[in-house]
Amino acid sequence: MQHDIHNIERITTIVAMVVMLLFFVSCREKDENLVPFSYNPEEVPTMVTDSVTTLISDSGITRYKLVADEWRVFDKAAEPYWYFPQGIYLERFTPDFSIEATVKADTAWYFSKKDLWQLKKSVHVENMRGEIFDSEELFWDQKNEKVYSESYIVIKRGVTEIKGYGFESNQAMTDYRIFRPHDGKLPFSENPVEDSLQNSVDTTLVLQSRQQPQQVPKKMLP
């Protein structure tokens, strides 16, 4: 009987050793079959969203409406940013939720640390006075509350059309100037005082808007 017990113990020990050996071999095979995974956070987004329509708040107040077909977020990049490869539409609201300005662009980036938008290709902006701004590139610096560009820009204001290079404006696009005029057309008026479309021009500012903004009805998405 004692001999049988010893045999059983010996068999149990051998079985346990075989099981452990098989376990370690299996784990090793699994480890060898694993493919190491790595990605470039500068090029691989952490989030991709399609058909986006969202409201964005600033200091607890809703200030923007954003519409995009595709929104890619690269928040692990050295310089975190959002990317809109299929274009973007933005509305900026006044405190009473009137539309202060609308922005369209074929491509856009938003750099969250700098609070800076870069808009490229067919950039189209319209302010609440109905003035239209067209360029191939605009930068919108929300931190410093200004819009600027070094690219060619066309400003349409009624029958007035101004073209040039180098542009700067406030966020509402109501106080702006072009630094290097290219060409354009200005209406002739026998009484410039009564001509509401006449621009104030001096040797420093080629074009600068100084009119007070007027309320216009809200515009809906096209």
* Segment 63-86, tens digit of pLDDT: 899 999 999 999 999 999 999 999
* Segment 167-181, tens digit of pLDDT: 999 988 999 999 988
Which phi and psi (to 5°) does residue 30 adopt? -65, -40
Contact 56, 68 (CB under 8 A): no
Which phi and psi (to 5°) does residue 110 adopt? -125, 120
| % of the chain at pLDDT higher than 70 | 65
CATH code for the part of the protein at 47-194 = 2.60.450.10
Total-model pTM: 0.67
What does the mean pLDDT of the chain come to?
77
Buried b (16+ CB within 10 A) or exposed e, 100-133: bbbbbbbbbbbeeeeebbbbbeebbbbbbbebeb
Is the model's pLDDT at 190 over the cut of 70?
no
The whole-number average pLDDT for the span 208-213 is 46
* pLDDT of amino acid 35: 57
Question: What are the structural domain ranges in the chain?
Answer: 1-37, 47-194
| CA pair distance 127, 133, nearest whole angstrom | 9
